[in-house]
Amino acid sequence: MPTPIRIYRPQRTSPEDLEAILVGRESLLQEVLGRLQHWTPGASRQHYLLIGPRGIGKTCLLVLIEHRTRRSETLRKKWAPVVFAEDAYKITSVGDSPSLVNASDDN
């Protein structure tokens, strides 16, 4: 049975399916991943602000960045993606998120 594509909910769609339906964002995805890969400790960190109307692919892009970062041995050594729920307004510090505290215990 095919996996459903969740419109407006890419975080509930498998990364493999998102990879298959990615259109027009591969160059942006590669640019961000390239900058993450070439970052060196001690250098300033680049920030990105994704702006656009609902459904344009902002969350899809973030899910794919997370997926490719976890899949890449090089990126995994430098970065640990953290995903918050869209309505996680009560998280104001690392201690407020059990997933962050548990992830730091693994290192």
- CA 78 to centroid of chain Cα atoms: 14
Is pLDDT at 41 greater than 90 in this prediction?
A: no
Whole-angstrom distance, CA of residue 99 vs CA of residue 14: 20
Token readout for 22 is 């990615």
Summarised one tens digit per residue, pLDDT across range 96-105 is 766 655 444 4
pTM, whole model, 2 decimals? 0.73
Q: Are 10 and 63 in contact (CB under 8 A)?
A: yes
Query: For 64-105, how does the pLDDT look when each residue is reduced to its tens digit (9 = 90+)?
Result: 999 999 999 999 998 988 877 777 777 777 777 666 554 444
The predicted model gives 31-43 an average pLDDT of 90
